[in-house]
């Protein structure tokens, strides 16, 4: 029934000499939300950024092992990074719209991927903004600079921008950490909507949020994968004491 | 509390005086130029001065003529030619240095560029005569290579250090998050550079190019040596030309004081002053407009 979308095997990651991820193996299920939790500095962002090879841009960073998406190891020599990043979208912790208009922000991914058809681009922009639940707020000012939007709107715009290129997987690194409760709720509802079409991996520091929105939860510590299970089990009867201590807030 | 407030006021006052001094000097130069240039127009009609291409102030058997149009066009042609060469090279080099180059390459390139900026213009002009000139002559089968193209190439070399280092600064100041957002959408490195980083750094890059332009318009020695110095309306870049700065430099030393010719040379100076002032003003306006958009 459940399809494995991403298969990570014996994955290690180094910044220079420092090993940040140790022997990670995990199967991520298609069309589900997988939450990643763990103390600060344990390697959550690094793991997320390994899945779209965003870490390639960091000098001295080195990956070892396999991350297989749809049967293909994305760290193979002959893999086209650009193609992977199109398939694996990313939403960053701090919203980062381009200093362009709202329309151009969403259209950007289509344009750089060679889409020329104006009507198709218009359609996709509207559809993406609708999917990101921000259409009604911006439909009258698509030609205004994206920086005029509020923080929460900017983050939903960034989600729309990621959706526009029709990825299959969406990586979210604490997408709601800079937002107020109302905006956060909006994003959470949005994620529930999005998982019908996308496979979502989300990093969060907020235990309630992880419990609310994710189907599976992964617990990381000091670069190791400590526990991985259905969210309900992780939060009610975790197999390891240390997981329970973290979830109940008994340590950092 | 009262003491530090006093100090602050002092510093403010100092900066104000500083600014005032600069403005005063600028206004002083302007007034001097105007005062020295005005007498020329007792004998020359302004229209003729600006829009005639005949410059022959030392004519003996016919009436002398004082039209600066060909020098003006020469100055513009040589400067714009220099920018056409220098801007793509400068942006390319800056992008390479800021993103692609290894730290070792950067460590070597930076001081080299600074040294390039410090080469006296006479030396660059000399290179124009012994190196660039012969090469141009050979390529285009000309008797000599002292022409507008030569001047443009040399001015481009002189403008490059400014353009490279200021553009590199501007590119470096573009937040990394823009770059990451672009790459994460499946953009290549070049698409990211052209569509995100350069537009985001545009204000800095425009400022860099304007400064380069300012230097090119005002540069004297190099163009004097490399462009062949014959006053004529330039029809193409392979023709010898004489810029406004060259004319002033050549003729001011020999002209009798307080003649119409003498005053007319100050008139040219005034036109140069107005051009550079306008270029800077336009750059400033563009810059502010852009910064507003960015915010
Ligand atoms: N660019 C980098 N260069 C060197 N070391 C890095 C780099 N980025 C992260 N690290 C180190 O790698 C480790 C894991 O960092 P990472 O950002 O993945 O943690 P995280 O779990 O996302 O933390 P947080 O919850 O605070 O976001 C940390 O010790 C961090 O200092
Ligand atoms: Mg992180």
- Domains of chain B: which residue ranges? 2-37, 46-294
DSSP, collapsed to helix, strand or coil, labels residue A125 as: helix
**What is residue A183's predicted lDDT score, i.e. its pLDDT?**
79
**What is residue B290's predicted lDDT score, i.e. its pLDDT?**
63
* Mean pLDDT of the region A203-207: 92
- Under 8 Å between Cβ of A219 and A245: no
Task: Collect the ranges in chain B with pLDDT lower than 50.
Answer: none
**What is residue B2's predicted lDDT score, i.e. its pLDDT?**
63
Q: What's the Cα-to-Cα distance from A103 to each of A117, A141, B175, rounded to whole Å? A: 15, 9, 21
Query: For residue A3, what is the DSSP state?
Result: P
**What is residue B291's predicted lDDT score, i.e. its pLDDT?**
64
Query: For residue B197, what is the DSSP state?
Result: I
* Nearest atom, ligand 1, residue A61 CA: 3
For residue B239, report the distance from its CA to the centre of ligand 1, in Å: 61
**What is residue A149's predicted lDDT score, i.e. its pLDDT?**
93
What does pTM read for this prediction? Answer: 0.81
Smallest Cα distance from B44 to chain A, Å: 52
- Under 8 Å between Cβ of B207 and B166: yes
- Closest-approach residue (CA) in chain B for A98: B178
Residues 6+ apart with CB under 8 A from B38: B263
Picking from B186, B196, B199, the nearest residue to A85 by CB comes out as B186
How many CB atoms lie under 10 A from the CB of residue A182? 8
CB–CB contact B185 A96 (8 Å): no
For residue A164, report the distance from its CA to the centre of ligand 1, in Å: 29
ipTM above 0.85, yes or no: yes
CB–CB contact A165 B186 (8 Å): yes
Tokens coding A139: 């439909």
Tokens coding B252: 């001011």
Q: Give the homologous superfamily in CATH for domain B46-294.
A: MetI-like (1.10.3720.10)
**What is residue A1's predicted lDDT score, i.e. its pLDDT?**
56
- Test mutation, B181, B191, B203, chain A, max A CBs within 10 A: B181
**What is residue B295's predicted lDDT score, i.e. its pLDDT?**
52
For residue A50, report the distance from its CA to the centre of ligand 1, in Å: 12
Compute the mean pLDDT over every residue in chain A, rounded to the nearest whole number: 92
**What is residue B202's predicted lDDT score, i.e. its pLDDT?**
87
Residue of A115, A138, A127, A118 whose CA lies nearest to A164: A127
DSSP, collapsed to helix, strand or coil, labels residue A189 as: helix
**What is residue B294's predicted lDDT score, i.e. its pLDDT?**
56
The structural domains of chain A, ordered by start, are 4-247 (3.40.50.300)
Residue A252 has pLDDT above 70, yes or no: no
CB–CB contact B195 A145 (8 Å): no
**What is residue A118's predicted lDDT score, i.e. its pLDDT?**
93
**Residues of chain A in Cβ contact (below 8 Å) with chain B:** 52, 54, 57, 82-83, 85-86, 89-90, 92, 94, 96-100, 108-109, 111-113, 145, 147, 158, 161-162, 165
pLDDT digits (tens, 9 = 90+) for A133-192: 899 999 999 999 999 999 889 999 999 999 999 999 999 999 888 778 887 888 899 899
A109 chain-B contacts, CB cut-off 8 A: 185-187
- Under 8 Å between Cβ of B54 and B278: no
* The dihedral formed by the CA atoms of B6, B7, B12 and B18, expressed in degrees to the nearest 10: 130
* Residue A41 CB less than 6 A away from ligand 1: yes
Look at the block and give the residue holding tokens 């390697």: A43
């Amino acid at each position: 029934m459940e399809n494995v979308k991403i298969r990570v095997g014996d994955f290690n990651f180094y910044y220079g000499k420092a090993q940040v991820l140790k022997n990670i193996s995990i199967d991520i299920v298609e069309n589900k939300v997988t939450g990643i939790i763990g103390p600060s500095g344990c390697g959550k962002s690094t793991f997320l950024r390994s899945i779209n090879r965003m870490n390639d841009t960091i000098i001295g960073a080195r990956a070892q092992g396999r991350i297989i998406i749809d049967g293909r190891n994305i760290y193979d020599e002959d893999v086209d990074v650009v193609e992977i990043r199109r398939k694996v979208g990313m939403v960053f912790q701090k919203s980062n719209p381009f200093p362009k208009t709202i329309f151009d922000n969403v259209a950007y991914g289509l344009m750089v991927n060679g889409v020329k058809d104006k009507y198709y681009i218009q359609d996709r922009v509207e559809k993406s903004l609708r999917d990101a639940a921000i259409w009604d707020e911006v439909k009258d000012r698509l030609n205004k600079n994206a920086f005029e939007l509020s923080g929460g709107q900017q983050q939903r715009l960034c989600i729309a921008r990621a959706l526009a290129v029709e990825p299959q997987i969406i990586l979210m690194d604490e997408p709601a950490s800079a937002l107020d409760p109302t905006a956060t709720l909006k994003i959470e509802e949005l994620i529930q909507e999005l998982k019908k079409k996308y496979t979502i991996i989300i990093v969060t520091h907020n235990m309630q949020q992880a419990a609310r929105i994710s189907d599976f939860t992964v617990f990381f510590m000091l670069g190791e994968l400590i526990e991985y299970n259905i969210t309900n089990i992780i939060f009610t009867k975790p197999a390891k004491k240390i997981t329970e201590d973290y979830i109940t807030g008994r340590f950092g | 509390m009262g003491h530090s407030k006093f100090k602050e006021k002092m510093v403010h006052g100092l900066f104000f005086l500083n600014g005032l001094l600069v403005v005063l000097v600028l206004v002083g130069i302007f007034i001097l130029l105007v005062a020295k240039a005005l007498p020329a127009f007792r004998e020359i009609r302004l229209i003729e001065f600006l829009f005639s291409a005949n410059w022959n102030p030392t004519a003996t058997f016919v009436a002398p003529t004082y039209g600066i149009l060909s020098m003006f066009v020469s100055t513009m042609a040589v400067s714009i030619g220099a920018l056409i060469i220098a801007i793509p090279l400068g942006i390319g080099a800056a992008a390479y240095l800021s993103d692609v180059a290894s730290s070792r390459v950067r460590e070597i390139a930076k001081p080299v560029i600074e040294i390039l900026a410090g080469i006296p213009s006479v030396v660059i002009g000399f290179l124009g005569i012994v190196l660039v000139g012969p090469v141009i002559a050979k390529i285009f089968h000309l008797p000599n290579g002292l022409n507008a193209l030569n001047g443009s190439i040399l001015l481009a070399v002189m403008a490059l250090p400014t353009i490279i280092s200021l553009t590199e600064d501007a590119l470096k100041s573009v937040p990394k998050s823009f770059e990451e957002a672009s790459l994460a959408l499946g953009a290549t490195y070049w698409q990211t550079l052209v569509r995100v980083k350069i537009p985001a750094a545009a204000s800095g890059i425009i400022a860099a190019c304007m400064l380069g332009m300012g230097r090119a318009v005002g540069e004297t020695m190099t163009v004097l040596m490399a462009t062949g110095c014959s006053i004529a309306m330039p029809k193409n870049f392979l023709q010898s030309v004489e810029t406004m700065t060259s004319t002033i430099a050549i003729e001011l030393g020999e002209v009798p004081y307080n003649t119409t010719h003498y005053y007319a040379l100050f008139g040219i100076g005034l036109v140069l002053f107005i051009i550079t002032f306008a270029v800077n003003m336009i750059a400033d306006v563009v810059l502010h407009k852009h910064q507003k958009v960015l915010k």
